[in-house]
Amino acid sequence: VDFLNVTFDPVYSQGASFDLQPLDVNGPASFVAGQNTVGLTHLGANGANAGMNTNYTFRVYLSSNDNIDATDTLLSTQFYGWNYGPVSSVVVNMGGVTIPANTPPGNYYLGVIYDNATDVNTVNNDSDGWDALPISVLSADLVATALAGPSVTNPGQSFDVSNTVHNNGNAATGLFRVGLYLSPDNICTGADTLIGNRVLSLGGSGTSAGGRGGGQSGWFDHSDERA
């Protein structure tokens, strides 16, 4: 029934053609950009007097608002099979999705849109409003904030270099390597000569300061660091 203005709508009736819509998207409250996240579900609801037994295609989108549409960021295309009876529903266990790694941290929504070929009524094939899942996107953002060492040294001579790395993001990084490179110019790339490194991890907004000594045979660790 439709309930409006403290009265039941007496003219409402269920349709005679199969009418599937995605409701009540559920899952984790936060997602780390670039990582696959599982545990999503939605309610596939048939509100019509007709049933359907076939395979169904739906797509998962990331949106900046709770009005999910096909112009939002497509995360995944998924399928499932089910025999829907008249006026019935099923909880659909969805596959994992990955938020793009370059997604800025912030608040977003996840929603589902069924293919228009699923049923005859295409206006309710998306999960909007309270049926969209509000989420927080977490992301790591590493930056080297300090680097210091001698201005002059000789081949084969050991020397110390201090460096500081900061995570501007709100997600933990996992283990990563900080590489120190020798370059003939002031633009260092991975094509230059790697002469030292240290391995660490950083939490959200974490900072790590460390140093390395080097010489003719390469660089060595002063300490193992975790943050």
Phi (first) and psi of residue 130, to 5 degrees:
-70, -10
pLDDT computed for residue 100 by the predictor: 94
Mean pLDDT by 10 residues, the chain (227 residues): 54 76 96 93 94 96 96 97 96 97 92 92 91 93 89 87 87 85 89 90 87 43 33
pTM: predicted TM-score of the whole model, two decimal places? 0.69
pLDDT computed for residue 4 by the predictor: 54
pLDDT computed for residue 225 by the predictor: 32
pLDDT computed for residue 7 by the predictor: 60
Produce one character per residue of 66-102: b if its CB has 16 or more CB atoms within 10 Å, e if not: bebeeebeebbebeeebebeeeebeebebeebbbeee
